[in-house]
Amino acid sequence: MNQTLLNQLRHTNPIVANISNHVTVDQVANVQNVIGASPIMSSAPEEAADIVAIAQAITVNIGTLAQPQIDQMVTLLQAAYQMHKPVVLDPVAVGSLTYRQGVIDQLLALGTPDIIRGNAGEIAYFAGINWQANGIDAGSGQADIVDLAQQAARKLNTTILLTGPTDVVTDGQRTTQIFNGTPLFQTHVGSGDMLTGVCGAFVGMLPDDPYQAAVAAATTFAVTGQLVAEAMPQPLPGSFYPQLLDRLFTVTTEEISQKAQLKESN
């Protein structure tokens, strides 16, 4: 893991342009802000080129689809790929819904995102592996999640961040498993969307190595969540989210390094 990336992010304040899930738009903006980035949320195709021009990274979340939002995604991604800006894609519930699969295929036809962040059910869609996805939840399947993530990464030639009790980051060659976290992530709708936003902040700082950016983002998020949960007298979902924001604002690289439980392989 790149030990200095968080400090560099806080010093630089990269601009991240986001097309967000309407359910969690404020959560994504807040988490990017407290981690050290400068979020800008977009919904108008007319401003896409100008926004991409000033941004260091782009995130696209398909959680709440409508045709105007899809048009904005297409316009923003076209500009991002033309300007060679890193893109993070969050394919919410793509493993469960045919319409969303069509939208994702349309977006992938424009170019390849630098990072795709999703749960096992979502990443299985890209790998072409049978998996019983359950809406926005991971669902269940028999495939090994490391192999699943690696197959998706190789098929798309991108970095995959598969999130769950154990997070898996892989570009098809390098792989890191992250064993930190807390079950409270699963009780808070928006945890995955927030991590997608954090990925945008980190890859904006390290556009030439999305894999290392994703490892740093996922490790920072998982370790911080674990620190919050361990400090709570009674771990409860309603108070977890505001404390997570507070801790992401104060967590240090030293704390992350000391707490991180990673397994790297090639």
Q: For 193-247, write each residue's pLDDT tens digit.
A: 999 999 999 999 999 999 999 999 999 999 999 999 999 999 898 999 999 999 9
Is residue 190 a known part of a binding site? Answer: yes
171 band by pLDDT with thresholds 50, 70 and 90 = very high
The tally of domains found in the chain comes to: 1
Identify the pLDDT of residue 111. Answer: 97
Beta pairing, strands 87-90 & 115-118: parallel
Residue 258 clears pLDDT 80, i.e. is over it: yes
| Amino acid in position 105 | D
CATH code, 16: 3.40.1190.20
In this predicted structure, the answer to whether residue 23 has a pLDDT above a threshold of 80 is yes
Residue 137 confidence (pLDDT): 41
Give the DSSP H/E element, type plus range, for residue 167: strand 167-170
Burial class (CB in 10 A: 0-12, 13-18, 19+), 207: middle
pLDDT band at 131 (very low <50, low <70, confident <90, very high): low
Q: How confident is the model at residue 135 (pLDDT cuts 50, 70, 90)?
A: very low
Average pLDDT over every residue of 159-188: 96
- Whether 94 shows a pLDDT value over 80: the answer reads yes
What is the crossing angle of helices 98-108 and 67-82, to 10°? 20
Domain span at 244:
4-265
pLDDT for the residue numbered 129? 77
Count other C-beta atoms under 10 Å from residue 157's C-beta. Answer: 9
Lowest-confidence region among 91-95, 197-201, 255-259: 91-95
Count of CB atoms within 10 A of residue 249's CB? 14
Give pLDDT tens digits for 34-85. 999 999 998 888 899 999 999 999 999 998 888 989 999 999 999 999 999 9
24 known member of a binding site = no
- DSSP letter at 232 equals -
Distance of alpha carbon 143 from alpha carbon 120, whole angstroms: 9
Asked whether residue 247 is marked as a ligand-binding residue, the answer is no
What percentage of the chain carries pLDDT values higher than 70?
A: 95
Average pLDDT, the chain: 92
Q: Is the pLDDT of residue 257 over 60?
A: yes
Can you list the alpha helix ranges (DSSP code H) found in 36-66? Answer: 48-54
CB 95 within 8 A of CB 131: yes
pLDDT of 98 > 90? The answer is no
Q: Is 233 helix (H, G, I), strand (E, B) or coil?
A: coil
Q: Is 117 annotated as a binding residue?
A: yes
pLDDT at 249 over 80: yes
Mean per-residue pLDDT for 118-130? 87
- Lowest mean pLDDT of 24-33, 141-150, 162-171, 243-252, name the range: 141-150
How high is the pLDDT of residue 123?
A: 92
141-166: per-residue pLDDT in tens?
567 889 999 999 999 999 999 999 99
Residue from 245, 211, 204 nearest 228 by CA: 245
pLDDT at 138: 45
